[in-house]
Chain A
């Protein structure tokens, strides 16, 4: 299974109106990361280390999160693995997804690309259950399916 399907990854690219060094701080400093991601982390980001966190996001406060830091290239690249989805579910026995942050200059600003990948290895039947409260109004979804299988 070498091909990447559209179901395997989420990719976001945004221009952040701040210098690359500032964006890097916000992402690589565990305290600052925690501020915008709404998680309290119990350590610093260091390659190869595992950090535990507690979600501070309203509605999910107190839930646990585990981050395994992979690679850090100052001001350019940061990656870690974690369990995706609803933090209320217990994913500890399942494979983790990989999250990669890439920073590039965009004039005086910063182009930030975030990729989360590895969803194809997650048994989504379980995740689907976690989101069951949102089922309803799915009548036109066949189009979605056609679109994503066509792209694969």
Chain B
């Protein structure tokens, strides 16, 4: 999942969907500096990773973030971070007088 975010264009897409809400491919292509085809490809990659979804197909596709998935990913990292904090406390208790 994080690998799907490891690309600048994709991060930009995620940032825009985050800030502006659901957007069409046309809108996402504006000012992105890449082609519509490239945006579509990135959206499909984000979709495959469960990070974005196509909410309205047809003539003009509208995409939005699958926020629950991102939230959980973030939470995972927080949990691992917390586990380190607790382990570090035990290390300190062991070596400090």
Q: Which residues of chain A have a CB within 8 Å of any CB of chain B?
A: 1, 3, 5, 7-8, 10, 12, 14, 16-18, 22-23, 25-27, 32, 35-38, 84-85, 112, 114, 116, 119-125, 127-128, 130-132, 134-135, 138, 141-142, 144-146, 148-150, 152
Contact = CB atoms under 8 A, between A and B. Distances in A.
A98 B64 CA distance: 33
Interface in B1-16: 1-3, 5-8, 11, 14-15
Contacts of B77: 7, 10, 119
Contact of A128 (B14, B67, B73): B73
Interface of B: 1-3, 5-8, 11, 14-15, 18-19, 49-50, 65, 67-77, 79-81, 84-85, 87-88, 90-97
Which one of B68, B71, B91, B94 has the highest number of Cβ atoms from chain A below 10 Å of its Cβ? B91
Contact of B18 (A14, A16, A123, A146): A146
